Structure 1
């Protein structure tokens, strides 16, 4: 059922070859926490990562900058007015994400078995999972409107909005600094909405390997009234497709990958 409820899955990983059996064993281990689910959020405590060679190897990898854990910490501190501001943009589902960790090796594995021609994840011996806006809507519940998300460079809009969002700065702050700024805010007006959108795009919907938000966010921020009518589901699906089609497995919405896979097979 497509209820737009975001599950959070966390687990450790001990290295070795990633197969469907390994993936399912990992997810089965995490599913024990589901009995603790309540309201619209389900929290699963993550295991500590194993030490040893895997930790050394992991540090060498290019990282996806997704940060569901920080989103959970942020929204826990948002006021009702701030959560209401998010809901005005159609982002209420992002206010109830409960996440401590995602199984990043599983997300990498999904990228490796993705078939760009059919836009499907081909699970050996188990079938196929589509990567489309319907699947994103089912997992994340973000707006699926008729307006294309204007994720593109527009220097004129950037120059107009940047001083308003980051007074005194000359260059884009890193995503962590944007989160810190959000956490410190007590207001819930347009500046809060713009910073929240920038963070959601950079840390959840379309994270890359960069430490900083993309300047392609600014045209979206300039159209706050249209945000709830934009097709965020298609944007997230297309961003993942483009990354995986180019064999760049470190970009894209890992929250969708993990939740969709989990809900499809568990």
Structure 2
């Protein structure tokens, strides 16, 4: 086999597209690591240091990244401008937010709104409450479909073939790293579809409980999920279930009226 010649930095002359590498840099940031040094950015993205520097500087010129006074990089505000234009996030969020605020005031707990993107859920809005406990999710963050109340709603109302493919994976609850049996998850999804609501309890990062319900568009498709999350023991999800379901139905009704 003919040997592929590489350039300095170890990359082949016709390798990964520039746009793919740019997104790898952006994917390196998390809610816990919002500022990264050039070296850390290079390590996380798996891109040589010199290439990382050139690409990060270019992204900073475009506003996608920002360079701080200490030399670290962070996500730029221009990315927030683009995110605000996403129809599935912005339009839905505008309709749901007043209802979320009512639910938030009534419960004094975290209230979250999410949509499905491929095999994960994306939080598009969250209202937080002091004393409601710590949650791992953040606005714009991704959550597993099998590990959250929001995710169970989105997965239960997805296409059957998608669900079956998802159930074939080796699934774990993180950060506990507890395995999830396909049979158990399949039973959960059947219950969610039958009852129209999802209940979930977790032990990490601290004990928490949630109750979620689906939001439907005018075609009857589940386009989002809403949930209330709080510290386990201080949150009676069974008592909150009617309120969460009522709010989800109200948002669904307004989506239909808006022609969405």
TM range (shorter): under 0.3
Rg larger for:
2
Normalised to the residue count of structure 1, the TM-score between the two structures is 0.25
Normalised to the residue count of structure 2, the TM-score between the two structures is 0.25
Structure with higher RCO (Cα < 8 A, 6+ apart): 1
User: If each structure's strand is expressed as a fraction of its own residues, which one has the higher value?
Assistant: 2
User: If each structure's helix is expressed as a fraction of its own residues, which one has the higher value?
Assistant: 1
